[in-house]
Amino acid sequence: MSDMSNSQFERTPPHDIDAERSVLGGMMLSKDALADVSEMLDAQDFYRPAHATIFTVVISLFGAGQPADAITVAAELQRQGKLEQVGGRAVLHDLVSSVPTAANASYYATIVHEQAMLRRLVETGTRIAQLGYTTDGGDVAELLNLAQSEVYSMSDSKTSNEYASLYEIIPGLVEELEMNSARDGQLAGLSTGFHDLDKVLLGLRPNQMIIVAARPGMGKTTLAMDFCRHIAIQENKPVAFFSLEMNRNELAMRMLSAESEVWLSKLISGELEQRDWERISRTLERVNQAPLYVDDSPNLTMMEIRSKARRMRQQHGIQLIVIDYLQLLTSGGRSPESRQQEVSEFSRSIKLLAKELEIPIIAIAQLNRETERRDSKKPQVSDLRESGSLEQDADVVILINRPKDRDEMGALPPAQVIVGKNRSGPTSDDIELEFQGSLTRFANYASAEDY
């Protein structure tokens, strides 16, 4: 019996070297695979120390926004004095060349994680067995408690302490109520820059997923950029803007037009007068240091956005994220069953990211054509394109409508901004903003009654 027990403890712990190699090779082949795996594994999940070292370097390069291929990983390992420890450059090139495709990296990562969990199970079982053999007839109930603690310690740290009793919750709630009372009419979140909208929303609040939606050409990006301009330039609070539609220069040009009050068409054509240059110069001095970070990487996946957002939250303290726009996100190497399912996954991921980072996230979205079939052309929350999950996951849904019929004076009516959903407050369909198309911006609407 004793020999059998000893042989069990001397067995090689569970592992799968081929799966580990495939994971590392896939990560160095594809940034999409890297983003996926970074969410699934930690360095301690690898059985071979050399593999854990390589994984750590790949993740650190990815987190710093640098390429993580065999060459850059080798250079970083060389810099750290660890290249020979992992087997040299040849090992890294073998890892990449031995993987036919990076598409299965997530599958191999699951195997690596499961093997790591089995090793922890073996280690935990060994410690529990030692508890049983080392006791001198003490309290058996206490030993059972210790054994249970060992088993629970295997759980992912992310799943621990997620629950709390009302006794633990109430003190924090009272503190929040006191803070709300002390605000004396100030907003609970970030100001949008539009007073009527702020009155309804009380600001863009932490943990919120906010959808800004409209049909093409209605000003979805413009309104979101107005929010960003106000928060980053006027209030000097860090904002991240992920643009899947326009490049960074286009966005900067629009922002410059809106801030300087020089027509966008003039900026593009170059037909600028002296007073235009003076306005531009003054504006550049003012906005040059604004903490607005634009990422216009093509074919962004939700995994990449999550990774970059975490890094910007840590490095720059970003207080708002904008994604323009949701239906342009891709799933990388995955093949979802349907576009509806894919958009639903994006929606849920954005909501979870807002909760994790404790900041509001604005996702710009398209509306379907049902809006145009109505006589009123007035959009509804149910018009959100490709997924009912957007309506379900969102805390706030803001819809835009710009009537095209001019009045008898030839003027266009104000734009209608509709708060179609507001999880923590009232909805509204009577917010009016002035659309200043030449300057690519909205402005607070001043009716004749205001004069």
pLDDT digits (tens, 9 = 90+) for 10-65: 678 899 999 999 999 999 998 888 888 887 888 999 999 999 999 999 988 887 77
Q: What does pLDDT average to over the chain? A: 83
Query: Is 90 exceeded by the pLDDT of residue 226?
Result: yes
Q: Which of 49-58, 184-193, 257-266 has the lowest mean pLDDT?
A: 184-193
Q: What is the mean pLDDT of residues 392-396?
A: 88
Q: How far apart are the first and last CA of the chain?
A: 96
The single residue listed with the structure tokens 């199970």 is 121
Q: What is the pTM of this model?
A: 0.64
Query: How confident is the model at residue 2, as a pLDDT?
Result: 46
Q: Which of 40-54, 96-110, 125-139, 355-369 has the lowest mean pLDDT?
A: 125-139
- Structural domain boundaries in the chain: 1-158, 195-450
Query: Is 90 exceeded by the pLDDT of residue 230?
Result: yes
Query: Is 70 exceeded by the pLDDT of residue 190?
Result: yes
β-pair type (415-422, 428-436): antiparallel
Q: What is the mean pLDDT of residues 257-271?
A: 88
Work out whether the CA dihedral 101, 107, 109, 114 comes out positive or negative. Answer: negative
pLDDT digits (tens, 9 = 90+) for 270-308: 888 899 898 888 888 888 888 999 998 877 878 778 878
Q: Report the share of the chain in percent with pLDDT over 90.
A: 29
What's the CATH number for 195-450?
3.40.50.300
Per the CB < 8 A criterion, the answer to whether 361 and 210 are in contact is yes
**Helix/strand/coil for 34:** helix
Q: What is the mean pLDDT of residues 63-88?
A: 89
DSSP assignment letter at 231: I
Report the Cα 236 to chain-centroid distance in Å: 21
Which CATH architecture is the domain 1-158 placed in? Orthogonal Bundle (1.10)
- Asked if 1-158 and 195-450 have one fold, the answer is no
Q: What is the mean pLDDT of residues 81-98?
A: 91
Strands (E), 276-319: 292-295
Query: How confident is the model at residue 16, as a pLDDT?
Result: 93
Query: How confident is the model at residue 83, as a pLDDT?
Result: 92
Query: Is 90 exceeded by the pLDDT of residue 366?
Result: no
Q: What is the mean pLDDT of residues 211-236?
A: 91
Query: Is 60 exceeded by the pLDDT of residue 334?
Result: no
Query: How confident is the model at residue 300, as a pLDDT?
Result: 80
Distances (CA, A) of 164 to 113, 325, 330, 429: 28, 36, 37, 38
Q: Which residues contact 297 (CB under 8 A, 6 or more apart)?
A: 304
pLDDT digits (tens, 9 = 90+) for 427-447: 888 888 988 888 988 998 875
